[in-house]
């Protein structure tokens, strides 16, 4: 029988130890494959939750009135004592509107003109200086009523004025021609609340809602307290019916000076 020396035993033990270490070294190689899973985590952390995104302010969303139901609320003869209340009620609901202002009223309340002009979604149009029936005036007088009012409102509001509403809706070929020269489109209406006659919040509301159709231009007067009180209810009811309340310019889109518009 061959004798196993202590030296041979030591050599055999060393070889076994080296053979056992090899698997450990081989297993260490694949470890880096776990690194991408760790580095991907920050991209999840930086994603902003949908609920945290800021909501648009009322009145900032543009609408296409060729595709959705739009109505233009319009107010004549102001600014008056209740005009700012009307503007506040409209703005609170994201509703837009157009105010056809008299020169004499604007002169008395220039700060209100500026307030309307600074409020998002509010548009200003001319309504002549003195509310005289234009069809009974000379050409020069018609021109003075329109142009002086337009220049005044442009100066006070800081905005160009491109629309005019002839008092009483009275127009003819001469009025149309002078409006064209003055670079003003004429805006009439197809829903008349007759608020100047009835002076009733309930009747004004009923007439506004009963005549409301897509593309309508509704006539009211912000100088009457009954109309001022009617505005919140009219706005709420129209919005519940799915109408977007827009300015005349938003309703009609591009307009032509000297042309008369009663609705979309």
Q: Which two tokens stand for residue 122?
A: 């509010």
Distance, in Å, from the CA atom of 169 to the CA atom of 260, rounded to the nearest integer, reads 10
Residue 191: beta bridge partners? 218
**Residue-wise burial string across 191-211, b where 16 or more C-beta atoms lie within 10 A, e elsewhere:** bbbebbebebbebbbebbbeb
Residue 207 sits at the vertex; the CA angle it makes with 206 and 211, to the nearest 5 degrees, is 115
Asked if 126 and 100 count as a contact pair (C-beta separation under 8 A), the reply is yes
Contact (CB, 8 A) for 168 and 133: yes
Catalytic residue among 76, 77, 195, 222: 76
Choose, from 91, 96, 127, 221, the residue flagged as catalytic. 221
Cβ(141)–Cβ(158) below 8 Å: no
Which residues make Cβ contacts (< 8 Å) with residue 110, sequence separation at least 6?
Answer: 156
Please indicate whether residue 221 is annotated as part of the active site.
Answer: yes
The structure tokens 């009457």 sit at 224
Q: What secondary structure does DSSP assign to 231-248, as a single string?
A: HHHHHHHHHHTT-EEE-H
Q: Which helix (H) or strand (E) holds 71?
A: strand 70-76
Rounded to the nearest 5 percent, the helix, strand and coil shares of the chain are 50, 15, 35
Catalytic residues: 76, 221
């Amino acid at each position: 029988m061959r004798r196993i020396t202590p030296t041979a035993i030591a050599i055999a033990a060393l070889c076994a130890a080296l053979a056992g270490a090899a698997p450990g070294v081989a297993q260490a190689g694949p470890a880096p494959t776990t690194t991408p899973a760790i580095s991907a985590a920050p991209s999840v952390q930086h994603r902003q939750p949908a609920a945290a995104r800021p909501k648009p302010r009322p009145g900032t969303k543009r609408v296409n009135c060729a595709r959705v139901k739009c109505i233009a609320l319009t107010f004549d003869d102001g600014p008056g004592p209740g005009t700012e209340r009307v503007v506040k009620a409209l703005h609170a609901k994201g509703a837009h509107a157009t105010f056809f202002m008299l020169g004499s009223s604007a002169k008395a309340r220039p700060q209100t003109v500026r307030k309307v002009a600074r409020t998002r979604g509010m548009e200003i149009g001319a309504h002549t200086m003195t509310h005289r029936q234009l069809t009974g005036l000379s050409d020069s007088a018609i021109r003075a009523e329109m142009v002086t009012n337009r220049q005044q409102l442009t100066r006070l509001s800081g905005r160009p004025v491109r629309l005019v509403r002839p008092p009483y809706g009275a127009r003819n070929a001469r009025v149309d021609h002078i409006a064209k020269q003055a670079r003003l489109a004429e805006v009439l209406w197809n829903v008349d609340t007759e608020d100047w006659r009835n002076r009733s919040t309930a009747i004004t509301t009923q007439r506004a809602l009963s005549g409301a159709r897509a593309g309508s231009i509704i006539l009211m007067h912000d100088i009457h307290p009954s109309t001022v009180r009617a505005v919140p209810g009219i706005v709420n009811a129209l919005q519940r019916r799915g109408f977007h309340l827009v300015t005349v310019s938003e309703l009609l889109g591009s307009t032509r000076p000297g042309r008369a518009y009663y609705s979309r």
